[in-house]
Structure 1
Amino acid sequence: MTGDEMPVSGQAAQPGQLSVVATTADGIRLLTLAGEIDDDTGETLRQALDVAATPRPGLVLDLRQVTFMDSTGINILIAAHQTVTGAGGWLRLPTP
């Protein structure tokens, strides 16, 4: 799989931070997340999902490097799923 890679936010995640790297291949957008997803970092995730969902129909989130997620992150993922599926796309959270 080849594609473009673009850091959406910052460098490697430090404690209490979230980094997002976006990659596109074959029309599918992959967001690789690292760090913590909570009230302090939720806006970073929300912005990355907003950019990633438009106009691509396929969105995959790699959460293997996420060390913490509270209800803020879960609510953001639910809203993103509703938005993407409402536009005829899909969102996947692969398991290792």
Structure 2
Amino acid sequence: MDSTGINILVAAYQDVTRADGWIRLAAPTQAVLRVLQLVGVNDLIDCRPTLREALTL
């Protein structure tokens, strides 16, 4: 994930939280999780280890 991906994710997060929504990532790789942590948005985005878990409300 590069800066474009981070910018899109942050913009999407801002949009969905204004609408009382949320973002959940399904099965992000360790590299993606590390980038989210480095940028400081890992606490804002719900990450689940599998697609099935991500789709469960």
Q: What TM-score results when the alignment is normalised by the length of structure 2?
A: 0.49
Choose between structure 1 and 2: higher helix proportion. 2
Choose between structure 1 and 2: higher strand proportion. 1
Q: What TM-score results when the alignment is normalised by the length of structure 1?
A: 0.34
Higher relative contact order (CA 8 A, sep 6+): 2
